[in-house]
Every structure is written in C-alpha cells, then in structure tokens.
Chain A
Amino acid sequence: MTIQPQNLKYCESHEWVAPPADNSGIATVGISAFAVAQLNDIVFMALPTVGQSVSAGQEFGEVESVKAVSPMYSPVSGEVVEVHSELVDHLDRLNADPYEQGWIIKVKMSDPSELNRLLDYAAYEKMCAEQG
C-alpha cells in the first residue's frame, strides 16, 4: 500500500490517518510532515501496545523533541492491531518520510464514520499555511 499525503485525512492536532484500502477496516495512523518540521529534533516516541483500545481525540502516545513533549491523539476509535515499534530506534525515518516509512500505529476501526469528521488534504494544508 502506498500512502500519499493527498489521500489522507487529518486531525487539527496534526495526526494523519490512511483509510483502509480494502475491507479490513484497518486504518494506518501517523503524524504529518508539518508536525515533524515543527517539532524538530525528535528524540523519543512513546507508543501504545497491540490490543490497546484508542478513542478518537484521545491521547495514544507521545512524541518528544529536545525542547518539548507533545501528546499524539488518535484520529479514530478502535483497537491497536499493529505498532511500528522499530520507529522508536529510527526516528530519523520521520524526517525522511513521515508517511510510508514513518507510520506509527494501525487501528481496527470501530466506527469508520469518524473519518468523515476529519480534515481532507486541502483543508489541512490550508490550516498549516495559516499556522506556518
């Protein structure tokens, strides 16, 4: 599966979610290139465990840069079915590619309609341009 920023949905708090490309109901979650650039110098990431449940808008982990720690909020509700645990030891992948290589968790969605409440690429880009 290729993850293209244009095809993702976004939270205002800069997490992205790739809607399932098949009928698995499994969405992939990460943080945007804008977030990575803003955080700068990421040194640590705290991730959930497989089997943990997450809710839309609730914290599922944290990302820490030299200067500050920022919570990551889940764009959707459901159960964590996969965690990109090697990412913690290769945080530079986030700088190189926060989409394909920098995905963070996969969530089996309990309510796919939550995707409709998120920003599309154009709306998210506009929001970032205003913040940038």
Chain B
Amino acid sequence: MLVRVGYATPTLEIWPIRDPHLQSNDLNMTEASRKTPLHSWHVNHGARMASFAGYDMPIQYQGIVAEHTATRTAAGVFDISHMGRLRFDGSRADQLLDHLLTRRVVDMQPGQVRYALVCNEEGGILDDVLVSCLESPSSKIYFLLVVNASNRETIVRWLQPHLADFPDVEFHDVTDATAMIAVQGPKAISVCSRLLPASALQLGYYRARVTDQMSKPCIVSRTGYTGEDGLELIVRAEDAERVWENIMLSGREQGISPVGLGARDTLRLEAGMPLYGHELSEHIDPYTAGLSFACNLKDRSFIGCEVLQEKSKGSLPARRVGLLVEGRRAAREDSHCFDHENRPIGTVTSGTFSPTLQRPIAMAYVNSEMAQVGQSLEVDIRGTRANATIVDLPFYRRPQ
C-alpha cells in the first residue's frame, strides 16, 4: 500500500506527460551530436568540452583539482543531464520495476530512493540505477529510473518486452524534456537554502520529492556521486539555465564552482563508487563487484535472481578492491596486477592521482584469495612495477 505524503502547496507537474513533444524519440541521433540544455552555458564559461556517451559535455572549467577541492571544501555544481531519466506511471509500475531490478520496488513508499542494478539472466550487470518513488502534486504515484547515459539505449531496449507484459504501465523517456543538476559538497545544502523550500532541504539521505525551485517545478533528491552531502535536481529543460544560474549566484560567496566530468570521476573514485564501463559490465555480477547491498534476493523473482542466489552463496573468482599505490604515478585502467612472485592476479579498472589523499589510488578486480585488506601486490604502470596495498573502500569519507 502506498502512503500519501502531504504537500503544503501543490506545484506544477514537472512535465506534462501526455505532451508528445516532450517525449524523447530520438535515440537514434548521431553520436556526439547531443547537447544538454546547459551546453551553451558551459561553452560560454570556457569549459573544455569533449564527447561522453554521445553528449558534448564539459570535462573541466578551471581545472580538475580546483573543482575537486571546491566540492570537498565548499560546493560543486554538476550538469548531469546526460544521465537517462525514465518515468513509469500506472498501478503496476512497481511490479514491472520489481521484475527488472535487484532491489525490491513493490514496497517502496513515495519519497524513497534506492540504488539498484539491472541484470541479465546470467546475473551480469546491464546498468546501475537509482529508482525513486515519487508523488506528483496531483497525487499520482510514479517511479523514476535514473540510468547511465551510456546505457540509456540498452535499458530502453531491454524494457520493451517487459513493457509489453505490463500494458497498463505507461513508460516515458523524459531525458530530453528535462535537465539534471547535482549540487554537492559540505555547503551544498546551505547554497540551496535560499532556492528550495524547507521540505526539500530537510530530505533525509536517499529521499526525494517533487517540489519547486522558485516556482519552477523540480524533483529534488538527497543523493550524489561524490561522497559528499548534497542534492540532485531534475528540472524542465527550458528552466535549466535559470536554475543553474540561481545556484551559481547563491553559492558565489561560499566558493561554489562548476564541476566537469574530470573531477566527477576523481570524486567518485575517492568515494569508492563504481562506474559503469569500468568497474561494472555485463561480464561482472553484483557480488564480484561488492554490491551485495544492492541485491534483495529473499522471496523475489527478478531477472537474474536465480543465478545471483548461487553467486551469493558460492565462491567468487575475483573481487573488486581499492588499491593505494606507492609513488606518484597513477595506475590507470587496464594496468595489470601481480603478486610478489610475478603471477598475474588482477587488473585495474579505474585509477587516478587522488587530489584529497595526494597519492595515486585505484580500483581493481583481484583474485579472491588475494583480495584481502592489507595484501601487498605489484601493479605494472607502463612497464614499471609499483607496490600497492589493498585497502578498504572508500578511500575518502567525509567528516561527519
């Protein structure tokens, strides 16, 4: 049963879902030709742009380290409009999603957000997603799935046969009709305090609600991909620049910085968060990836569930680990790991020089028998060996 959450002042629907102009039907657009609603802002503010998952995205503005540090010490604002936003309406939307996601959806209450995986029948990860249960101002309960930009087409295609099984579920890809902005950092809530109603600022971690930003409809969630406190906002595409400018203005005295995908990557790596295409793929299952917390297996029958039951009990050949690498050189993706007897034991999936720790860090898949915290190993960095130690993830935890 769904419990209603009351709203003080009903706001507009975030998008008129029956307006066909606001639906995305252009998934066949040419690679790299897509632009987010904030594209011209980035270009006008000197961002270095590059193609990412088919979008022309800002990689950095003032510099990765400066943006990273701004997010850790004050606040950073990120254009994450390239992420896919998929909306599911109808009384059985929860059942459809429950069948596709590793986390239980049928018991979700309005306002809840869960991190979950979409797996194939073999238990391989097709995407990692956030699913939110939301209540519109007109008291409609619906679900929103935020998927990786690079996987949006895969997921939309994956959905099709299941949508056919649930003809009463209405599905809309609302990515292009909307923009998504993350505000992250110790001052993120304070920056937003002049912009959002108290109900949005008081959201608990992994909670979301439909609200407004100065009368512009807005979905706010207390989520992020940086290891910091903060919010993620979904607004209408036509409101995106106004909302972005409002955040920049409100945060100016507090040291807010726009942050590109470069620092988004170093921030998530320090926070030990996996990235699809690096730590996650169709050939990796949630248990190997260390994401057992994102799987509810009991009394469930989602796709991949049976295989994952076995994986959860059995022994896994490899596991995802964090590595602290000695020296100044970063072990990058595809660097090979060896034990001290020169036997290959794993591969790095992401690596960088950590701006916060001031040393190289990496994530890797390492043979299970070696994947113990404290284990010493060697990483081949472009022909030279560096010593590394397996450490607990995350590398960085924000001060409480």
Q: A43 at interface (Cβ–Cβ under 8 A)? A: yes
Residues of A within 8 A of B64 (CB): 40-41, 65-67
Min distance, Cβ A93 to any Cβ of chain B, angstroms: 16
Q: How far is the CA of A67 from the CA of B64 in the complex (A)?
A: 8
Using CB atoms, name the residue of chain A closest to B266.
A66
Q: How far is the CA of A40 from the CA of B263 in the complex (A)?
A: 12
Residues of A within 8 A of B204 (CB): none
Give B41-78 interface residues, CB cut-off 8 Å to A: 60, 63-65, 68
Q: A34 at interface (Cβ–Cβ under 8 A)? A: no
Q: How far is the CA of A44 from the CA of B381 in the complex (A)?
A: 13
Q: A62 at interface (Cβ–Cβ under 8 A)? A: yes
**Number of A-B pairs, beta carbon distance below 8 Å:** 40
Given A67-B64, A67-B262, does the pair A44, B382 have CB atoms closer than 8 Å? no
Residues of A within 8 A of B82 (CB): none
Given A62-B382, A64-B353, A66-B266, does the pair A44, B329 have CB atoms closer than 8 Å? yes
Residues of A within 8 A of B265 (CB): 67
Asked whether, in the complex, the Cβ of A43 is within 8 Å of the Cβ of B382, the reply is no
Residues of B within 8 A of A65 (CB): 64, 353
Q: How far is the CA of A64 from the CA of B332 in the complex (A)?
A: 11
Min distance, Cβ A128 to any Cβ of chain B, angstroms: 14
Q: B255 at interface (Cβ–Cβ under 8 A)? A: no
Task: With a 10 A CB-CB cut-off, give which of A43, A44, A65 has the most chain B CB atoms.
Answer: A43
User: DSSP majority for the B interface?
Assistant: mixed
Given A69-B330, A69-B332, does the pair A44, B63 have CB atoms closer than 8 Å? no
Residues of B within 8 A of A41 (CB): 63-65, 355
Asked whether, in the complex, the Cβ of B328 is within 8 Å of the Cβ of A66, the reply is no
Residues of A within 8 A of B262 (CB): 66-67
Using CB atoms, name the residue of chain B closest to A41.
B65
Q: How far is the CA of A48 from the CA of B382 in the complex (A)?
A: 15
Given A66-B266, A67-B262, does the pair A43, B60 have CB atoms closer than 8 Å? no
Q: B184 at interface (Cβ–Cβ under 8 A)? A: no
Asked whether, in the complex, the Cβ of A64 is within 8 Å of the Cβ of B330, the reply is yes
Q: B178 at interface (Cβ–Cβ under 8 A)? A: no
Asked whether, in the complex, the Cβ of B352 is within 8 Å of the Cβ of A66, the reply is yes
Q: A46 at interface (Cβ–Cβ under 8 A)? A: yes
Q: How far is the CA of A66 from the CA of B65 in the complex (A)?
A: 8
Per-position 1/0 for A44-76, Cβ under 8 A of B: 101000000000000000101111010000000
Residues of B within 8 A of A62 (CB): 382
Given A46-B329, A64-B330, does the pair A40, B60 have CB atoms closer than 8 Å? yes
Min distance, Cβ B352 to any Cβ of chain A, angstroms: 6
Using CB atoms, name the residue of chain B closest to A43.
B353
Residues of A within 8 A of B355 (CB): 41, 66
Per-position 1/0 for A12-43, Cβ under 8 A of B: 00000000000000000000000000001101
Q: How far is the CA of A23 from the CA of B169 in the complex (A)?
A: 82
Q: How far is the CA of A62 from the CA of B332 in the complex (A)?
A: 14
Q: How far is the CA of A8 from the CA of B382 in the complex (A)?
A: 31
Asked whether, in the complex, the Cβ of A64 is within 8 Å of the Cβ of B65, the reply is no
Give B196-216 interface residues, CB cut-off 8 Å to A: none
A-B contact pairs, 16 of them (CB 8 A): A40-B65, A41-B64, A41-B65, A41-B355, A43-B353, A44-B330, A62-B382, A64-B330, A64-B353, A65-B353, A66-B65, A66-B68, A67-B262, A67-B266, A67-B352, A69-B330
Query: Which residues on B are within 8 Å of A, measured CB to CB?
Result: 60, 63-65, 68, 262, 265-266, 328-330, 332, 352-353, 355, 382
Query: Which residues on A are within 8 Å of B, measured CB to CB?
Result: 40-41, 43-44, 46, 62, 64-67, 69
